[in-house]
Amino acid sequence: QWVKNPCLSNMKSGFAIATAGWILSITCMGLVDWRVWHVNSTSISERSPVCVGMWKVCIHRHVSQFHRPTFCYPYTYGDTFLPVDILVGQHLLLAASILGLLGKVCIVFALRKLSMGILGRKVISNAFAVAGILNMAAGMCILITVIWNHKSVMNGEGISFPLSFHIPLKPDRQEMGNAMLVAYLAAFLMLLSVLFHLRFQCTLPNQVQPEASEM
């Protein structure tokens, strides 16, 4: 056992929040409804909602009230029709997932060292500082991606999909999808975890001593 200190709760809270943000950042990458296009008429069906994601676009064909088959077209690395905000967003989200994972590794390292007993301030402080920098970078990558795509939705920008997709250049109306909300929350949690990192640096004692065993 080791002595309870105020910095330990900050470390655990920062780890929990960063973990939640990291999971949401991975989740939003797989979601297809970043942008929801409402198209009144396509060559596939009438009034087809189109979900534009980071890795594919899906058309929900309206057949009946209870049956809506989905046709999805995944993007390839060599696709030139994708706008810059999606191309850059793909790389930023991948970078965010890697940076978030590395940040978690640093926090786990610090927690493990702390639980082992006597440890100077420098080792734990450095590990937690690196984790804070990594989480901040991950949060900024997600934030830049979601704000850029949100701006494209607000400006009503279109995408020149191939003719084989049967999707018009611009929809009749488009709106922000649920994936953007998840991404906003992920960025918020990743950046919020940095505050716990800073508070941890202020409350960490010079030396962490193990608790003396009771006689």
DSSP string, 101-132: HHHHHHHHHHHHHHHTS-EEHHHHHHHHHHHH
Is pLDDT at 162 greater than 50 in this prediction?
yes
> In the structure, what pLDDT confidence band is assigned to residue 208 with cuts at 50, 70 and 90?
very low
Q: Which of 41-45, 134-138, 164-168 has the highest mean pLDDT?
A: 134-138
pTM: 0.81
Q: Can you give the pLDDT at residue 164?
A: 83
Q: How confident is the model at residue 15 (pLDDT cuts 50, 70, 90)?
A: confident
pLDDT at 65: 52
The mean pLDDT value of the chain amounts to 80
Q: Quick check: 189 pLDDT over 80?
A: yes
- The whole domain housing 23 covers 6-202
212 domain residue, yes or no: no
pLDDT above 80 for 145 = yes
**What is the structure's pLDDT at 84?**
93
Output 46 or 191, whichever has higher pLDDT.
191
In a domain, 166, yes or no: yes
The predicted model gives 44-55 an average pLDDT of 76
Q: What is the pLDDT of residue 94?
A: 95
131 domain-assigned:
yes
**Confidence bin at 130 (pLDDT 50/70/90):** confident
pLDDT (0 to 100) of residue 119:
55
**Cα 57 from Cα 77, distance rounded (Å):** 14
Q: Has residue 207 been placed in a domain?
A: no
Alpha carbons 157 and 151: distance in angstroms, whole number: 9
**Would you say residue 73 lies in a domain?**
yes
pLDDT by residue (tens digit) across 113-127?
776 654 556 777 787
> Of 73, 84, 88, nearest to 162 (Cα)?
73
CATH assignment of the domain containing 172: 1.20.140.150
The answer to whether residue 211 scores a pLDDT higher than 50 is no
> pLDDT digits over 19-48, tens only?
999 999 999 998 999 999 987 765 555 557
**Residue 132 in domain:** yes
Average pLDDT, stretch 37-63? 75
Number of domains in the chain: 1
Q: What whole-number distance in Å separates Cα of residue 146 and Cα of residue 27?
A: 14
Domain membership of residue 58 (yes or no) is yes
CA atoms of 23 and 25, how far apart (whole Å): 5
| Cβ neighbours for 61, distance < 8 A, ≥ 6 positions apart | 44, 45, 48, 68, 69, 70, 71
Residue 18 neighbours by CB under 8 Å, 6+ apart: 100, 103, 104, 107, 131, 135, 189, 190, 193
pLDDT for the residue numbered 109: 82
Residue 38 belongs to some domain of the structure: yes
| pLDDT at 213 (0 to 100) | 40
